[in-house]
Amino acid sequence: MDVRNTADTDLIDRVRETRVGRSIWRTPRRVTPRDRAAAHWSSFLLHIYPVKVRKEELSFQYSWYLGVISTVLFASLAASGVWLMFFFVPSPGQAYTNIQTLQTEVPFGQYLRNVHRWSAHLMVLAVAMHMAKVFYRGAYKAPREFNWVIGVILLVMTLLLSFTGYLLPWDQLAYWAVTVGTEMAAYVPFAGEKVQSILMGGNTVGQATLIRFYVLHVAVLPIFLTIGITFHLWRWRKDSMLDLDRGEPNV
Amino acid sequence: MSEKVVSEESGTTTSVVIGAKSRADATPAFGTPDVLKGRRVLGMVPGKPLAGDRKDPAEDDMVMVFPHLLVRHAVAAMSILLAVLVIAIFFDAPLRAIANPTVTPNPEKAPWYFAALQELLAHFHPLIAGVLIPGAIIMGLVALPYIDRSLFILTSHRKVAVATFTTFMVVWIALTIVGFAFRGPNWGWVWPWQEWHGEL
């Protein structure tokens, strides 16, 4: 069957049929399930998804969509975070006044700071709940053990991202929360003081600490988290082709 | 049992041999599928009727991700985004006085997700509460799938694992709530409806 020039063809189908359209999508005809699978398979935007999933996986009750929710919150944090970077200088002399200016003079400054803050808290919650949901579903069982391990690493990175961001406003809340946190590092056996001074860049929370936390928060940790999420999703897609979660032993 | 390759193109279940040119070529002899000259059989799968042909579709039927899963993910994504955007209208992120190394607030509170650790710190030596316990929790989580190696996935078939995980989770949530909302000056006990010291 040829869909060209039929009355019920959608506009998007007609665009795909053009010479340029075919060069972009490469699989212009969407007639059979096999065509649609081929189109999915060759789509860059959809390449993070498998072509098919078990019907059971569609339901809210299966996953509570916590993985999607965590990812969306991370995207919201990246977007609002990049915007906040335009107004922020990581120095004890300027950081606090930058936040005050942001809240009082920058259009939507307070609002986007709120979005960043609440997305961060919700992301910690969503990632922790995602882990619990995966545990109760038994989805960490062979052969998916290592994706669970990647997930634990992602949880730790989420906590570190949240904690490094906590210092940046340079107010009393930030300063003392980070003081409490870094003092704990001093009790690491044998290398405690070394670990603490590496974290803080000195004996007290100061300029060196702020720049360290800032660079970790806006560059190092987001990059590693992105790589980790990519790996996590890649393994999820590969494993989606396995026949799992039947309520019987996975053999 | 004869091996079959399911073809979805025709919308019905057919037995074909890979490389066959027509339905007539593809009719396999019982148990021994034909292989056309010059073609290689790359694989065989047991025959299984398509979902639409079955009388009662089972939960493990495969469905297309586009649109079935994508539309659900889009709704989940937009819902959580809407929730954040609405919360941000009504609640402002806190900003206290400028950092002052000479004035220690009382109580000093860690962020809420470390409140359980801070609560433990009030009861145990910092080496135990601040280093060994969090280290053991992370290592325990990493090791979990290698310790619990039974292949059963229903919670009713793995009671020990579920009981252990649930116990740790409940204790951790309780410690977090106590550290976050029930602790006041000098880490003393307060009732959150009388004195509020939680910080987000």
Least confident range of A105-114, A136-145, B67-76, B178-187: A136-145
The partner residues of A171 in beta bridges, in order of sequence, read B98
Å from A76 to nearest chain B CA?
Answer: 8
Å from B150 to nearest chain A CA?
Answer: 8
* Tokens coding B20: 């066959």
User: What is the Cα gyration radius of chain A?
Assistant: 24
Nearest CA in chain B to A43: B66
Q: Do B95 and A169 touch (CB under 8 A)?
A: yes
Å from A222 to nearest chain B CA?
Answer: 19
Task: For A231-241, write each residue's pLDDT tens digit.
Answer: 999 999 988 87
Q: Do A136 and B162 touch (CB under 8 A)?
A: yes
Q: Do A115 and B105 touch (CB under 8 A)?
A: no
| pLDDT score recorded for residue B34 | 56
Q: Which of B66, B91, B99 sits opposite A171 (nearest CB)?
A: B99
Tokens 């799992």 belong to residue: A244
| pLDDT score recorded for residue B8 | 42
Å from A46 to nearest chain B CA?
Answer: 9
| pLDDT score recorded for residue A36 | 84
* Tokens coding A44: 């860059």
Q: Do B96 and A171 touch (CB under 8 A)?
A: yes
Inform me whether the pLDDT recorded for A17 exceeds 80.
yes
Inform me whether the pLDDT recorded for B6 exceeds 50.
no
Inform me whether the pLDDT recorded for A187 exceeds 60.
yes
State the CB neighbour count (10 A cutoff) for residue A119: 27
Residue A184 CA: distances (Å) to CA of A107, A141, A159, A200, B130 = 39, 34, 16, 12, 5
| pLDDT score recorded for residue B58 | 60
| Selected residue of A59, A134, A180 to mutate for chain B interface (largest B Cβ count, 10 A) | A180
- Kindly list the residues from chain B whose CB atom is less than 8 angstroms away from the CB atom of residue A169: 95
Q: Could you tell me the pLDDT band of residue B11, with boundaries at 50, 70 and 90?
A: very low
| pLDDT score recorded for residue B20 | 43
- Kindly list the residues from chain B whose CB atom is less than 8 angstroms away from the CB atom of residue A121: 112, 200
* Tokens coding B149: 């190696």
Q: Do B145 and A205 touch (CB under 8 A)?
A: no
State how far the Cα of A102 lies from the Cα of B156, in Å rounded to an integer: 53
Least confident range of A66-75, A211-220, B29-38, B59-68: B29-38
| pLDDT score recorded for residue A181 | 85
Inform me whether the pLDDT recorded for B12 exceeds 50.
no
Average pLDDT score over residue span B169-183: 97
Q: Do B84 and A118 touch (CB under 8 A)?
A: yes
State how far the Cα of A87 lies from the Cα of A101, in Å rounded to an integer: 9
Tokens 């560059």 belong to residue: A219
Instruction: Give me the domains of chain A, ranges plus CATH numbers.
Output: 1-38 (no CATH), 61-239 (1.20.810.10)
Q: Do A69 and B95 touch (CB under 8 A)?
A: no
Instruction: Give me the domains of chain B, ranges plus CATH numbers.
Output: 1-58 (no CATH), 112-187 (1.10.287)
What amino acid occupies position A48?
Answer: I
Å from A19 to nearest chain B CA?
Answer: 25
ipTM over 0.85: yes
Return the axis-axis angle of helices A109-137 and B70-90, rounded to nearest 10°: 140
Average pLDDT score over residue span B155-162: 91
Tokens 């996953």 belong to residue: A63
Residue A4's region, left for phi above 0, alpha for psi from -120 to 50, else beta, is beta
Residue with the larger pLDDT of the pair B40 and B113: B113
Task: For A141-174, write each residue's pLDDT tens digit.
Answer: 888 999 999 999 999 999 999 999 999 999 999 9
Residue spans of alpha helices (H) in A138-239: 145-167, 172-185, 192-200, 207-215, 221-239
Least confident range of A83-97, B7-21, B88-102, B167-181: B7-21
| pLDDT score recorded for residue A147 | 96
Task: For A192-217, write each residue's pLDDT tens digit.
Answer: 888 889 989 988 899 999 999 999 99
Q: Could you tell me the pLDDT band of residue B130, with boundaries at 50, 70 and 90?
A: confident
Q: Which of A51, A69, A163 sits opposite B76 (nearest CB)?
A: A69
| pLDDT score recorded for residue B49 | 56
Q: Which of B57, B70, B145 sits opposite A148 (nearest CB)?
A: B145
Percent of chain B scoring above 70 in pLDDT = 72
Inform me whether the pLDDT recorded for B192 exceeds 50.
yes
Tokens 């869909």 belong to residue: A3
Å from A20 to nearest chain B CA?
Answer: 23
| pLDDT score recorded for residue A246 | 54
Cα dihedral A115, A116, A121, A124 in deg (nearest 10) = 120
Q: Do B62 and A247 touch (CB under 8 A)?
A: no
Q: Which of A32, A72, A159 sits opposite B81 (nearest CB)?
A: A72
State how far the Cα of A48 lies from the Cα of A44, in Å rounded to an integer: 8
| pLDDT score recorded for residue A189 | 86
Percent of chain A scoring above 90 in pLDDT = 62
State how far the Cα of A197 lies from the Cα of A163, in Å rounded to an integer: 17
| pLDDT score recorded for residue B7 | 42
Q: Do A136 and B155 touch (CB under 8 A)?
A: yes
| Selected residue of A160, A187, A240 to mutate for chain B interface (largest B Cβ count, 10 A) | A187
Å from A7 to nearest chain B CA?
Answer: 23
The partner residues of B14 in beta bridges, in order of sequence, read none
Q: Do B151 and A159 touch (CB under 8 A)?
A: no
Are B59 and A56 within 8 A, CB to CB? Answer: yes
State the CB neighbour count (10 A cutoff) for residue A79: 14
Least confident range of A87-96, B4-13, B124-133: B4-13
pTM: 0.83
Q: Do A162 and B111 touch (CB under 8 A)?
A: yes
* Tokens coding A188: 């690491």
Q: Do A115 and B121 touch (CB under 8 A)?
A: no
User: What is the Cα gyration radius of chain B?
Assistant: 30
